[in-house]
């Protein structure tokens, strides 16, 4: 997976997570961010990496995202690896 495709996948994950009030609230609490920071942060690789880490750390959440996005959990792992650090 290319870094560009990985970034697109991460942005898709962000859009999906944003539609899930409890989960986005938990992510914001863990990351220390405010809702108003999301748009700016969405363009930052470190933020997208942390978002993928958050999803990968919660298997039920990962499986729901993958089902809704019609992709395998391995695709999310590959995206995370492709984004580095």
For the stretch 51-67, pLDDT in tens is 999 999 999 999 999 99
Per-residue pLDDT at 2 = 92
Burial class (CB in 10 A: 0-12, 13-18, 19+), 48: buried
Q: Which tokens hold the place of 25?
A: 């609230």
Cα(73)–Cα(65) distance, integer angstroms: 9
| Strand ranges inside 1-85, DSSP E | none
For the stretch 25-49, pLDDT in tens is 999 999 888 888 888 888 899 999 9
Mean pLDDT of the chain: 93
């Amino acid at each position: 997976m290319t870094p560009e495709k990985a970034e697109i996948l991460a942005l898709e994950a962000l859009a999906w997570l944003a539609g899930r009030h409890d989960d986005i609230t938990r992510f914001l609490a863990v990351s220390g961010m405010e809702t108003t920071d999301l748009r700016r942060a969405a363009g930052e690789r470190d933020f997208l990496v942390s978002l993928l880490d958050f999803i990968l750390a919660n298997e039920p959440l990962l499986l729901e995202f993958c089902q809704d996005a019609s992709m395998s959990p391995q695709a999310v792992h590959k995206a995370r690896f492709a984004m580095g650090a």
